[in-house]
């Protein structure tokens, strides 16, 4: 097969390149805890606030899931929402 493409060599080199890239990514990317520890104190406070908001939204998500399982309609007043309709956006 003169002049043909060497598929075996191509597959081996491609696998090596992808493996090296994946290994470099795994070694260079910090874990979530390492990233949090490296943040400035003001950014840590913001992250903590966002996490607290997410915890509050899980209660709403649970209410919606149970209502959906029972095939019920859920209104915003039932969820305890304090936002005005439309999220306070002006049109």
pLDDT tens, position by position, 42-66: 999 999 999 888 887 777 788 888 8
What burial letters (b/e) apply to 41-65, b meaning 16+ CB within 10 Å? eeeeeeeeeeeeeeeeeeeeeeeee
Q: What is the spatial distance between Cα 35 and Cα 25, in angstroms, rounded to a whole number?
A: 15
**Angle, CA 27 vertex, CA 24 and CA 28 arms, to 5°:** 80
Q: Between 82 and 72, whose confidence is greater?
A: 72
Q: Between 76 and 82, whose confidence is greater?
A: 76
Is this structure's pTM higher than 0.95?
Answer: no
- Tell me what pLDDT residue 91 has: 59
């Amino acid at each position: 097969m003169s002049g043909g493409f060497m598929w075996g060599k191509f597959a081996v080199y491609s696998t090596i390149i992808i493996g090296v890239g994946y290994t470099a990514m795994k070694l260079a990317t910090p874990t979530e805890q390492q990233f949090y520890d490296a943040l400035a104190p003001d950014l840590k406070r913001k992250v903590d606030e966002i996490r607290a908001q997410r915890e509050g939204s899980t209660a709403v998500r649970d209410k919606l899931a149970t209502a959906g399982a029972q095939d019920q309609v859920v209104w915003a007043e039932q969820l305890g929402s304090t936002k005005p309709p439309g999220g306070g956006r002006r049109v």
